[in-house]
Amino acid sequence: MSLPPLLVIIPMHPEQLSELQTRFEVIYRPSHHPTPEGWGPDGERVRFVLTNGSRGMSAAELTHLPNVELVSALGAGYENLDIAAMRARDIVVVHGAGANAPTVADQGFALLLAAIRRIPEYDAACRKGIWRDALPMQPGVAGKKLGIVGLGAVGRQFAKRGEGFDMQIGYRNRNRRDDLPSHYQYFDSVTALAEWADILVVTAPGGAESHHMINADVLRALGKDGFLVNLGRGSVVDTAALADALRNGVIAGAGLDVYEGEPSPPAALIDLQNIVLSPHVAGRSPEAEAATLSMFMENTRRYQAGEPVMTPL
């Protein structure tokens, strides 16, 4: 029996491709930028597509995939998938919600600690022979008020880590959740959450609804002793407002795994000492990649078996 054709348009490791090839005829066309001209005869045969939220899949690209049945975003994000165009053609759309959440939260908490405790600065000073008396004293982390914007799978994992540091937990979601510990405090606006929090962590997805949700007003509300961590999407934070806030002491510091203009370096931020950056790697680990690929394989297995998929969009 012939294997169903799968179009993969994101970079993948050889071992991941090998696993996919056990179940699919893999058409591997990784590209950071969309390819509106299509994929020739291969595109006409494709039944499944594997992409991610950053790369996405546009309506124009779908016109070159007349037989596609299912499109999957490998991670949790799906901001650049034209879901309306897919639904119009009855294409099943799934994503990898929650599969890499522990790894993302690990990286986010590392950024939080590094930003608050100035780990990169202290490391550089130590290598230069600078002793502690010549360096600024930084605040502790335990017992602080942790505000989370977007309490989904990553946000819940982050909150669990915060509880290990005896933090108070507050959150802002589109809707109040009724499945949380009773001591989690709900806020009806991001600004109100920022006013309450010592540390504001963003795990909200990208897209038009959340564009520049973290703006100058929110940063002022967070205040001169506050810290920002962004694990969601770069578009959620107004980069110019953040750069201004960091330069002028509006907030104390920040840690970002995502930023506007990826993969180019965030030019407005890289000369600042009170920010710690990582290149959108929070969701990447052997464990996370195995879990996200396993979720994709299970979603496609269920679809082919006529069963409900795990993580529909």
Residue with tokens 């992409």: 51
Average pLDDT, the chain: 94
| In the chain, % of residues over pLDDT 70 | 99
Angle between helix 101-116 and helix 119-127 axes, rounded to 10 deg: 60
Catalytic residue, chosen from 118, 156, 233, 289, is 233
Q: Is the pLDDT of residue 227 over 90?
A: yes
Q: pLDDT-based confidence at 18, cuts 50/70/90? A: very high
Burial profile 178-202: b = 16 or more Cβ within 10 angstroms, e = fewer: eebeeebeebeebbbbbbbbbbbbb
262 annotated active-site: yes
Q: Which of 262, 284, 298, 302 is catalytic?
A: 262
Find the Cα–Cα–Cα–Cα dihedral 312, 209, 266, 243, rounded to 10°: -140
Give the pLDDT band of residue 31 (cuts 50, 70, 90).
Answer: confident
- The whole-number pLDDT of residue 232 equals 93
Q: Quick one: average pLDDT of 189-206?
A: 96
Active-site entry in 156, 172, 280, 289 = 280
Dump pLDDT digits (tens) for 233-275.
Answer: 999 999 999 999 999 999 999 999 999 999 899 999 999 999 9
Active site residue 211: no
At residue 205 the predicted structure's pLDDT band, cuts being 50, 70 and 90, is confident
Q: Which position has the higher pLDDT, 158 or 98?
A: 158
Stretch (H or E) spanning 310 = none
What pLDDT score does 58 carry?
93
pLDDT at position 298 is 96
Secondary-structure breakdown of the chain: helix, strand, coil percentages, each rounded to the nearest 5: 35, 15, 50
Banded model confidence at residue 34, pLDDT cuts 50, 70, 90: low
- Annotation says 156 is catalytic: no
The percentage of residues in the chain with a pLDDT greater than 90, rounded to a whole number, is 86
- Give the pLDDT mean for 1-9: 93
pLDDT-derived band at 79 (thresholds 50, 70, 90) equals confident
According to DSSP, residue 300 is labeled: H
How confident is the model at residue 77, as a pLDDT? Answer: 81
> Does the structure show a pLDDT above 90 at 38?
no
- Condensed to tens digits (0 to 9), the pLDDT of residues 266-302 reads 999 999 999 999 999 999 899 998 999 999 999 999 9
Instruction: Transcribe 201-251 into DSSP letters.
Output: EE----SGGGTT-B-HHHHHHH-TT-EEEE-S-GGGB-HHHHHHHHHTTSS
Is this structure's pTM higher than 0.95?
Answer: no
Domains of the chain, with CATH numbers?
5-95+286-305 (3.40.50.720), 100-277 (3.40.50.720)
